[in-house]
Amino acid sequence: MTKVIDMNLATIVKEVLLQEISPFLKLHGGDCSFIKIDEENIVHLKFEMACTACKLRPLTYLAAIRPRMMKIPGIKDVNIQGVKVSDFAKARSEKITIL
C-alpha cells in the first residue's frame, strides 16, 4: 500500500526553500530545488546553479539546509542529489547551524 504524502508538508518545505534557504544560496550564485518528499517523509532536494560545482556542498548541506529542514515537524531526513555524508558526520554536525 502506498502512503499518501501530506501536501501541506510539501508546501511548507517549498516555502522554507523559497523564503530562507534560496536567498542564502543566491548570495553565492547558487540555489536549491525541491524534488519530492518520499513515503518515509525524507525530503529530496537538488543543488542548482553555482552550487552544482561547489566543493563546499556537504558543508552547506550539513550546516544550513539539513538543520533547517529538520525543524519542520514530520520531516525524518533530508537528501540532496550528489551529496554523500555519513551518519557520523550528520550526528557531529547537529551542533553547527548557520541558518
Would 79 be classed as within a structural domain?
yes
Please tell me the total count of domains within the chain. Answer: 1
- Write out the three cell numbers for 38: 518520499
Residue 11, helix vs strand vs coil:
helix
pLDDT in tens, 36-64: 999 999 999 999 999 999 999 999 999 99
Mean pLDDT for the chain overall: 89
Across the strands, what pairs with 67?
A: none
Q: Does the pTM of the predicted model rise above 0.75?
A: yes
In a domain, 2, yes or no: no
Q: Which amino acid is at 49?
A: M
**Does the residue 99 lie in any domain?**
no
Question: How does residue 1 score in pLDDT terms, banded at 50, 70 and 90?
Answer: very low
- Tell me, yes or no, whether 44 lies in a domain: yes
Residue type for 17, please? Answer: L
Kindly state whether residue 98 falls inside one of the protein's structural domains: no
Q: What is the CATH number of the domain that holds 14?
A: 3.30.300.130
Say how far apart CA 97 and CA 49 lie, in whole Å: 23
What is the span of the domain harbouring residue 37?
Answer: 7-93
Q: Is residue 26 part of a domain?
A: yes
**81 within domain boundaries:** yes
The answer to whether position 42 is within a domain reads: yes
pLDDT exceeds cutoff 50 at 4 = no
